[in-house]
């Protein structure tokens, strides 16, 4: 019996479109991470880039359950003593509407060069307009 080894250059990459309006932030992030990683394909290998491209629209309209809209915190440290900064979800959506979705998906990707490459295959838009119409993305329902 011979093992079939698929090379990443031979894999056809598709574009997928996910509308996050009214959907839970985490569930959208999980679906995006699975597609980016290539886990929806039969030729998936964990150490290679076999995934597809993902476009997420309406990222600022993603839903959160419970009191997370006011209670969920994002932390950033400047590197100096006493430099810890915290921002809640409501303020982050006003300042950078795409950041919470990008942050959630990035946390679900592997650390290292592969994860950084996979993260570049995702486009997140705060509104309903995106600039990848030419790629004819396939709509994914969550």
Q: Please give the DSSP secondary-structure letter assigned to residue 13.
A: P
Single pTM value for the model: 0.92
Q: 36 pLDDT exceeds 90?
A: yes
Q: What's the mean pLDDT in 111-139?
A: 97
Burial of residue 18, with CB atoms counted within 10 A of its CB: 0-12 exposed, 13-18 middle, 19 or more buried: buried
Give the pair of three-digit tokens for residue 22. 């009214």
Residue 107 main-chain phi, psi, to 5 deg = -70, -15
Contacts of 73 (CB under 8 A, 6+ apart): 86, 87, 88, 89
11-140 CATH: 3.90.1180.10
* 59-79 pLDDT tens trace: 999 999 999 999 999 999 999
* 76-95 pLDDT tens trace: 999 999 999 999 999 999 99
Percent of the chain with pLDDT over 90: 87
């Amino acid at each position: 019996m011979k093992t079939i080894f698929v090379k990443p250059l031979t894999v056809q990459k598709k574009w997928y479109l996910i509308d996050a309006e009214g959907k839970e932030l985490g569930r959208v992030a999980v679906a995006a991470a699975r597609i980016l990683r290539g886990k929806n394909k039969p030729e998936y290998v964990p150490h290679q880039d076999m995934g597809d491209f993902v476009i997420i629209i309406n990222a600022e309209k993603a839903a959160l359950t419970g009191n997370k809209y006011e209670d969920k915190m994002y932390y950033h440290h400047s590197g100096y003593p006493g430099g810890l900064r915290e921002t809640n979800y409501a303020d982050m959506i006003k300042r950078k509407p795409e950041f919470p979705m990008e942050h959630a998906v990035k946390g679900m990707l592997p650390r290292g060069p592969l994860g950084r490459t996979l993260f570049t295959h995702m486009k997140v838009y705060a509104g309903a307009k995106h600039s990848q119409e030419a790629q004819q993305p396939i709509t994914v329902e969550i």
